[in-house]
Amino acid sequence: MDNLNEQLKAQIIAALNMEGLSPADINDDALLFGDGLGLDSIDALELIVMLEQQYKIKIANPEEGQKIFKSINSLADFIRSKQA
Amino acid sequence: MQTIATIRIANSALYLNGQQMFAHEAENAEVFFKALYQYLKLEYPKFFKMDSLSKLGFLAVDALVQHTAEIKSYADDEIAVVFGNYASSLDTDQKYWNGVAAAEPVASPALFVYTLPNIVQGEIAIRHKWYGENMFLVLDRNNKTAVNNSAALLLETGKAKACVAGWVDYLNGAYEAEVALVRKPEE
């Protein structure tokens, strides 16, 4: 089990008030937006704030967001790349 | 103006036309709202992302819709929503301010979108697909007459055939909602 992935799932559930969901309900490769977890544009902004707060990472180019926030795996990869 | 049905939420209980339908002693308003959500058998995940004022209004109107068959007889642009309160969106405004004024400032987008009182009406309009007139009045404490007068005006001028009108107020854990379905008297 990847600790960062599990940590991200718990943080997203808490930050976005996703009542009734547990980390186990979120697949590492599932889409976070659209047909996947169903997040919306306000959630995207909240995730950007979460990244800044929890990981001190700023997304300089909003165009990057789509790729970064595609799934838990892509988000975790992005964080690791910034922390390396 | 004729009142068809009234829902009241106060003191950890839900009342329909003055009769208690549900009560749940809870340590705070949020816990009570969740219990009421479950009692009404709602399945609407967005509810949990709303601020407290929106949750309160949303629950009151959902209870009204569930217990008032007539409400479904109106077209989506025939129902107006008129609310009033005393505290406006101050509860959420304070929470947002506490975030931005903190030593490590946080400007939460999810909180910011609720820093207007009429957002509750937007949530209700989305939920029930109502596209009629809406108005939110910030008033003196317990000035419910102004809400009723505004609803009556919309009905009298033909801007709406029915109106969900009432008082929806939340501040620092204290809450009161009283909403009614009203329409012009039958001639």
3-state SS assignment for residue B134: strand
Angstroms from A74 CA to nearest CA on chain B: 23
In whole angstroms, give the CA distance from residue B61 to residue A71.
Answer: 36
Domains observed in chain B: 2-183 (3.40.47.10)
User: How far is the CA of B169 from the CAs of B55, B139, B151, in angstroms?
Assistant: 11, 11, 18
pLDDT at A62 over 80: no
Contact B109 A45 (CB under 8 A): yes
Amino acid at A60: A
User: According to the model, what pLDDT value does residue B187 have?
Assistant: 66
Query: Using the 8-state DSSP alphabet, how is residue B185 labeled?
Result: P
Angstroms from B66 CA to nearest CA on chain A: 23
Chosen for mutation from A18, A26, A45, A47 (greatest number of chain B CBs closer than 10 Å) is A45
Chain B nearest-CA residue for A56: B104
User: According to the model, what pLDDT value does residue A18 have?
Assistant: 86
Chosen for mutation from A26, A46, A54 (greatest number of chain B CBs closer than 10 Å) is A46
CATH label of the domain that carries residue A67: 1.10.1200.10
How many other C-beta atoms can be found within 10 angstroms of the C-beta atom of residue A11? Answer: 17
Q: What's the total number of domains in chain A?
A: 1
Domain that holds residue A68: 3-83
Instruction: Name chain B contacts of A38, Cβ cutoff 8 Å.
Output: 45
Contact between B53 and B107 (Cβ < 8 Å): no
Average pLDDT over every residue of A55-84: 90
Contacts of B37 (CB under 8 A, 6+ apart): B47, B55, B59
How is the beta sheet containing B174-183 ordered, strand by strand? B19-23, B13-16, B2-10, B174-183, B162-171, B79-85, B134-138
- Give tens-digit pLDDT for B34-48: 999 999 999 998 999
State both tokens at B164. 């969900």
Q: Which residues pair with A57 in a beta bridge?
A: none
Q: What percent of chain B has pLDDT over 90?
A: 91
- Give tens-digit pLDDT for B71-125: 999 999 999 999 999 999 999 999 999 999 998 888 899 999 999 999 999 999 9
How many other C-beta atoms can be found within 10 angstroms of the C-beta atom of residue B126? Answer: 12
Average pLDDT over every residue of B147-154: 96
Q: Is residue A50 very low, low, confident or very high in pLDDT (cuts 50, 70, 90)?
A: very high
Average pLDDT over every residue of B149-157: 97
Contact B109 A49 (CB under 8 A): yes
pLDDT at B143 over 80: yes
